[in-house]
């Protein structure tokens, strides 16, 4: 079940990018055991557990890390694990007695995955922050938005999930492969500012080649080009156009009925305002559905702009089975796809501590030990 089947990971419960990283690993077949807090403190947005889809695919145990017994239990689990993932501020795991050196002492092959916003060191390492702050430091936030407006936060996709979760998951898998060769574990320091900066590599290359300007909304990919933007339709909805290559641009002009008009050349920046105005005028003559019928599937690089509710119902998404329903909640399924080891979602998001005793038994903890942990208020 998935290419990571047989890999065992301990997740110290956190919010946002940490859980998403562990969801990705679990989707790929890893057995991820989520260690939730053994108290009433909520992590992140309060909601019914089944809606917290980032926690899907793994079991949850409730552990009181403020007790010596709880810390000892986690160390026991780590001794049988391939990796650990945590997302606290620098120094928190060390103060709990579960820092890298503490964990390597019980499992030298352990991959210790750390998720932070600003990294483990540096002037801002211990500062509080969120996605918007991290991507603000990398140039990414400045670059996103229209020319006549301010920067637009791209949800928390570029920082938390793109620069954070994906890079940590990639780092953990890389370290697991290396540990199989060397027999040694190591720390994976996944800072969201590092990952978000890495995502901007292409833009930095274009900038240095004088093919990009540091002004927002003036470039090919940031809504500066009229043939790479979104346009409002007759019914107040929107469509997207990405006709960068000349042959695609010519196809777009043909299907819009503009190929015989005296328009500025595609690369004529001075003529972009005129092109944009003409495109906007044409796209407002039909509804989004009408444009989809005319342009979808052609080489105009077209797609309707769908809402979150609409996206799962699109015929292409349906044909590929991109969305699944777990515990009554429709959500994106595992990605990417594999020809042999098909990823599957093991279970719905758990109630914190839902699987404490059953999971501990499966990880080799005896009934007598479980009873003692319960008596010490180390588990729930």
Would you say 326 and 314 are in contact if contact means Cβ atoms under 8 Å apart? no
Using CA atoms, how far apart are residues 240 and 91, in angstroms rounded to an integer?
46
Token code pair at residue 204: 């930095």
CA distances from 26 to 1, 22, 346 (A): 10, 6, 8
* Cα–chain center distance at 349: 17
Of these residues, 36, 82, 131, 160, which one is catalytic?
160
N- to C-terminal Cα separation, the chain = 30
The reply to whether 36 belongs to the active site is no
Would you say 190 and 112 are in contact if contact means Cβ atoms under 8 Å apart? no
How buried is residue 128: exposed, middle or buried, by Cβ count under 10 Å (0-12/13-18/19+)? exposed
* Cα–chain center distance at 190: 13
Note the maximum CA span of the chain. Answer: 84
Of these residues, 130, 142, 238, 314, which one is catalytic?
130
The stretches of 114-238 forming alpha helices (DSSP H) are 131-136, 140-143, 166-182, 192-199, 201-208
CA distances from 97 to 19, 46, 68 (A): 22, 28, 9
The reply to whether 39 belongs to the active site is no
Which positions are catalytic? 130, 160
């Amino acid at each position: 079940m998935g290419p990571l089947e047989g890999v065992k990971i301990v997740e110290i419960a956190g919010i946002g990018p940490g859980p998403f990283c562990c969801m990705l690993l679990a989707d790929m077949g890893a057995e991820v055991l989520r260690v939730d807090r053994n108290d009433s403190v909520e992590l992140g947005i309060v909601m019914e557990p089944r809606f917290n889809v980032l926690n899907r695919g793994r079991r949850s145990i409730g552990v009181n890390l403020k007790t010596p017994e709880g810390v000892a239990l986690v160390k026991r689990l780590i001794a049988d694990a391939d990796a650990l993932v945590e997302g606290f501020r620098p120094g928190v795991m060390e103060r709990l007695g579960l820092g890298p050196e503490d964990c390597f002492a019980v499992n030298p092959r352990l991959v210790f995955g750390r998720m932070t916003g600003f990294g483990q060191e540096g002037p801002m390492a211990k500062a509080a922050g969120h996605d918007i702050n991290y991507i603000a430091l990398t140039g990414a936030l400045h670059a996103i938005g229209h020319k006549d407006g301010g920067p637009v936060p791209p949800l928390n996709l570029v920082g938390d999930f793109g620069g954070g979760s994906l890079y940590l998951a990639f780092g953990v898998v890389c370290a697991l492969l290396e540990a199989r060769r060397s027999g040694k574990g190591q720390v994976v320091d996944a800072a969201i500012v590092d990952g978000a900066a890495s995502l901007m590599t292409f833009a930095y290359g274009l900038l240095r080649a004088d093919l990009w300007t540091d002004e927002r909304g003036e470039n090919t990919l940031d809504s500066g080009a009229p043939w790479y933007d979104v346009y409002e339709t007759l019914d107040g909805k929107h469509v997207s156009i990405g006709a960068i290559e000349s042959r695609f641009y010519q196809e777009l002009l043909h299907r819009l009925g503009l190929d015989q008009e005296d328009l500025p050349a595609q690369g004529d920046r001075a003529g972009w305002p005129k092109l944009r105005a003409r495109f906007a005028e044409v796209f407002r003559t039909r509804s989004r559905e009408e444009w989809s019928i005319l342009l979808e599937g052609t080489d105009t690089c077209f797609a309707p702009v769908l809402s979150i509710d609409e996206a799962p119902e699109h015929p292409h998404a349906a044909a590929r089975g991109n969305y699944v329903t777990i515990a009554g909640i429709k959500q994106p399924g595992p990605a990417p796809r594999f020809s042999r080891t098909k990823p599957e979602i093991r279970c719905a998001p758990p109630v914190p501590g839902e699987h404490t005793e059953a999971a501990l038994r499966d990880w080799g903890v005896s009934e007598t030990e479980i009873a003692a942990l319960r008596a010490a208020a180390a588990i729930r």
